Each structure stands twice: as structure tokens, then as C-alpha cells.
Chains A and B, each alone.
Chain A
Amino acid sequence: MKRFLLAAAFFVVLLLIWDVAFRTKIWSPVLLPSPWQVATYLKGAAVDGTLAKATVITMRRLLAGYFIGLVVGLPLGLLTARWKLFRDTIGTMALGLQTLPSVCWVPLALLWFGQTEAAMLFVVVMGTLWSVVIATDTGVRNVPPIYRRAALTMGSKRLHMWFKVILPAALPFIVSGMKQGWAFAWRSLMAAEIFVTILTGFGLGQLLHYGRELSAMDQVIAIMLVIVVIGLLADKIFFSPIEKFLHRRWGTSQA
């Protein structure tokens, strides 16, 4: 409770500073709207459904791309961990492409797929895939050999070994890779939505883009806040419980 109150106080102070900065009129209200203007926009967008619609569209794109990234990335990571040939080829490629900021995929996606949903999906998949591959590979290769040996003596082999020993043992790495993949997917989707202004659906990134076009700073800030909140919620709802479980089981430190 004390922690919650402290955190709440922090954000209240932040809002107050913002409000004071607005009242001083040092910056034009076009550039710095008041917290109330932003709140008013948010309320309006929430009431007329814009916000909900945009969020649904964005989440659909994000989840589809993220899911494909996971489904393709996990097996690829297993392959690179298991066979040198794959490590030298796919592994090296993954390492290289992972360093590429995901927004860099946007021009290519636009040229290949045009202003389409496919372009956005492609960018999200590329943002997710490589970090999942690398995390899975690292996780599997960090499994202490003694687990394998112990399991071997008890009669575990092949698929059983992979699913009941190696994958669970690599889980902490894989989960942190999934988390990183999620962060990258989120970033790349926002980049894609800002650049790909298609008419098949307005996502949050597109609302942000049109906010800029219309110089509607209240809209820009409001959408940015929504994006931050979604990121936080994803962490709290999805990743936090998994990480808590891992910390409890493995006995690793928990902040």
C-alpha cells in the first residue's frame, strides 16, 4: 500500500509540473496542451469509439505478427542450437538481423507489399523473430549438460528429452527472449503504422500520425499515453506472472 501511494504521488507530481508548465505560457499551447485538454481528447475518443477501435486493430496486428514470430522463431532457435550447420547459417543471420532496428524493415516492406496489412505484418514478424531465435538458441545451449545426462540415465531420449528436459531447462532464457521479442514487435508495429497509412484500419500509430498532420498535440500526447499504458499492461498481465513463477521455481532474485 505504501509503495502504491508513493508511486501515485510521483505521477501526481508529474502531472502538476506539466500543468504548471502549461500555465506559465512559455510554450505555445499548440505545442504543449494542458493535461485537461489531453484528458478531454481521451474522453472524447473513448466515448465515440475511436480509441477502442484503434486499439483493437493495433492489438490484432501485433498479436498476429508476434504469434508468427514465436511459432517460427522457437523451432529455428532449436535448430541453431542443435546443429552447427544451422548455427553457422541461420544463427549468424539472426544475429545480424537482430541488430537491425526494426523500423529499417519499413521501406522494404512498403516496396514489397505496398500500403497493405501484409506490409505491417511483415515488419512485426521481423521485429519479433530474430530475438526469439537468439534467445531460444542461447537458452538451449546454456542448459547444464548434467540435466541431459541425468535424464538419459532415467530413459529420456529424443522428443521426451527436448520437451521435458531441454525446453523447460531453457525456459528462463526463452521467456526473456519472448519479452524482448514483444518489445521489438511493439516498436516495429508503431513504426509501421506511422509510415503505412493504409485504409484497411486505423491503428494507434495511425492516430498518432494524423495527430501530427493536424497539429493536434492533445491527440499526439493522448495516443502516446495509451501506447505506454498498453505496454505496461502487457508486461503486468502477461509477462509478470510467468517471470514470478520462474523466479519462485528457480530461486533467482526477485526485485
Chain B
Amino acid sequence: MRQAARHHSSVTEELEVIAPSKLAIEGVSKSFRSASGTVLALDRVSLNVAEGEFVCLVGASGCGKTTLLNIIAGLEKPDSGTVLADGKPVTGPGRERLVMFQEPALFPWLDVFGNVLFGLKLKPNLTKKDRRDVATYYLELVGLSRFEHANIHELSGGMKQRVSLARALAPNPRMLLMDEPFAALDALTREQLYGDIQEIWKARRKTIVFVTHNVREAACLGDRVLVFSPHPGRIKEEFAVKLPRPRDINSVDLAAHATRITKALKSFGQAEAAVTG
């Protein structure tokens, strides 16, 4: 009887808005060996992200922002420095911090529903019905209920990223790590997703670290925008974006923010050019 009662409530529990994660990164360095020698991808990067904050990392490609994201995810280990998620050191990948990759890393051998179920099946204490209910909920949240039995290759790029988002949200992580998830999409689809992601962020209360090289995108989504400089990868400047939400990517205020950020980005570019030139 108690068992039944517990199961009865577990879907609602599972779908509960849980406390988002906080993140403390201290002096993280990482270098890679390449054909042309050792490259310092990250040089003593420190960064704090508050619970429920939406932080965007912008920078030119190769500035180490993706490396930092992978380190936060636990997919790579830093050479030195510490990463604490909710006060606990990150030692490997974990369900608490789910990643949305640039290329939709959806599994082609499963249909849409199967993909969203994948992470849920690895979560203990859920019945089959719970899992299905949770997956159905998230597919509805991203507006793809009608496509639950579609094959992955039948979806457009934007739909694939929506499924990726549903898959990442389904195990109810406290933090979402997004690695240029919209970079490969057309402008119209992207704009739609900016609206959706802000709504979902508000509704589901996640801490989000979002990597992009698109300054407008960063200004549109982030509470804070951190600007990276390349070679070695460092956080050079920080911008708080205090515009009301939901934000429209085409608004004039947002453009003003974006211009300031772009200026900062360009200044490193020139410094870089001066050094190498």
C-alpha cells in the first residue's frame, strides 16, 4: 500500500521544480598537446555561477569555452584547479549536469520517445509508467508530442535540438550545459528557440551555462555574459545584462548590449593580431 502510494506520487515528485545548482570554478587550467606543441586552452579560469543563473560564455572559436564546459560536465579533467558543483568536487559526468551539444547527439537507433527515455531509464526508483509520463511531459514542453514516434532523421535541425533539450531536461538535472546548441540552425528557428529556452528556464528553474560565439544570442539569453580571450583561454570581461525577460533578440536595447560586448571581443582580437602580426 505504501509502495503504491509512493509510486503514485513519484511522477509529480519527478516533475517537481527542484533547486538549481550553483557552481564554483577556481583557477582551472587545461592544456592540450597538438602537432605544433602544447596549447594552453584554459589559463587559471575562475568563475562563480549562482543558483538558477543563466550565464553565457562567448569568445572566438578555440578560446577554450567548450573545454571549460566539458570540464564542468565532468567529461574532461582540468590539469589544475577545482570545480565545485553545489560544494562537491566534480569528478566525472553526472545526471545533475546534463549537456546539450552543438550537433544533436541524438541516438539514431531510437525514435524520439526512446531518446527522451534514455536518461530516465538510467534513473533509479522510477516505474515504467513514471518514465513514460515524464518523457511525455517534456516532449509536450518542447512542442513535439506529435512526433514521439518519429525517427531522428525525419526531424528538422530545430526539432532535433528540441528533442535534445527534452532529453537533457527529462532526468531533471539541476544544471544545463549548452554548447552552441543553436549554431547550426537557421535564424528563424533560432529566434523561436530563444523564446522557448527562456520560458523553459523560467518554468523549470535550471542553472544554465551556455557557450556561444554569437554575441547577440549571449545578450539575449544571459543574466551575465563572460567574454573569453583566446591563446591562452581566459575570462577577460564580464557584462551583466539586466533587460527584462522574455527578451527579443531584435530589440534596440539588446543591440546596445551586444555592441558593447562585441567591442570587448574585438579588442582582444586586435591585441592578438598585434602580437602575432
Contact = CB atoms under 8 A, between A and B. Distances in A.
Given A149-B101, A152-B75, A249-B151, A168 B109 contact: yes
B101 A248 contact: no
Interface of B: 73-75, 93-95, 97-99, 101, 103, 105, 107-111, 118-119, 122-123, 151-154, 167, 171
A150 to B, nearest CB: 4
B101 A150 contact: yes
Nearest to B70: A149
Chain A residues touching B, majority SS: helix
A169 B106 CA distance: 11
A7 interface: no
A169 B109 contact: yes
Interface stretch (A46-54, A106-114, A154-162, A216-224): A154-162
22 contacts: A147-B105, A147-B107, A149-B99, A149-B101, A150-B101, A153-B93, A153-B94, A153-B95, A154-B118, A154-B119, A154-B167, A154-B171, A155-B93, A156-B118, A165-B107, A168-B107, A168-B109, A249-B151, A249-B152, A250-B151, A250-B153, A251-B153
Interface residues of A, number: 21
A28 to B, nearest CB: 57
B235 to A, nearest CB: 24
Given A147-B105, A153-B94, A249-B153, 11 more contacts: A144-B105, A149-B101, A153-B73, A153-B98, A154-B98, A154-B167, A155-B94, A168-B107, A250-B109, A251-B152, A251-B153
A151 B98 contact: no
A146 interface: yes
A15 to B, nearest CB: 42
